[in-house]
Amino acid sequence: MHEAALTFDPHVEEDRTSTGIPHNKMGMWVFLCSEVMFFTGLIGSYIVLRYGSTWPDPKQTLNIWLTAANTFVLICSSVTMVKALEWIQRGNIAKSKLFMCLTLFGGSLFLSVQIYEYRHLLHHGFNPHVSLFGSTFYTMTGFHGFHVFCGVVCIAWCTGKLFLGKYTQEHHLGIETLGLYWHFVDLVWILLFAIVYLI
């Protein structure tokens, strides 16, 4: 075998599947399909329980405007993730670093506001065991919050790798794959916000 074929190049993208999609990205798509089924089950159960029993008005318990602002923050973090990928594809590493940091900040801020909301609700007696509404609210938003937390950890990891020069214009699959997950998390929250807080 030719000696050059044995040389390991850390900047070569991962081998692609028979579909032409890199293994990492294909794995993320499969994972997101399972997540769609997971959240569909949660949201479907919530709808069945809500319209099958007496349900309180969410606006009397939840802080709609605070959560709306927090939703805007998460949407903005999805935009900054797009810009981070766009700039690294153009070869502008400095701007990619900036937008990755902004994405990390947006995700962290979203989690901080959600923790503040939980503390406020628990302080005023709105516990998971207080009602069926409380149980479903904490289950759905809690699972989503856990997904955001995992995303923030991964964003921090990828941002660190970016600052260490591990990602380049030619090699940035990790950022692209992480972007798919982050956009999914944002989309799920928009649905949860509409169903749980507004309807």
Helix (H) or strand (E) holding 74: helix 64-89
Domain that holds residue 44: 22-198
Average pLDDT over residues 36-59: 90
Report the SS3 class of residue 57.
coil
> Is 11 domain-assigned?
no
pLDDT at 194 over 90: yes
* Helices and strands counted in the chain (H then E): 5, 0
| pLDDT of 12 above 50 | no
* 3-class state of residue 1 by DSSP: coil
Q: What is the pLDDT of residues 66-84, one digit of tens each?
A: 999 999 999 999 999 999 9
Number of folded domains in the chain?
A: 1
Look at residue 19 in the predicted model and tell me its pLDDT.
65
The CATH number of the domain holding residue 77 is 1.20.120.80
Q: What is the pTM of this model?
A: 0.87
> How much is the pLDDT for 16?
59
Query: How confident is the model at residue 18, as a pLDDT?
Result: 61
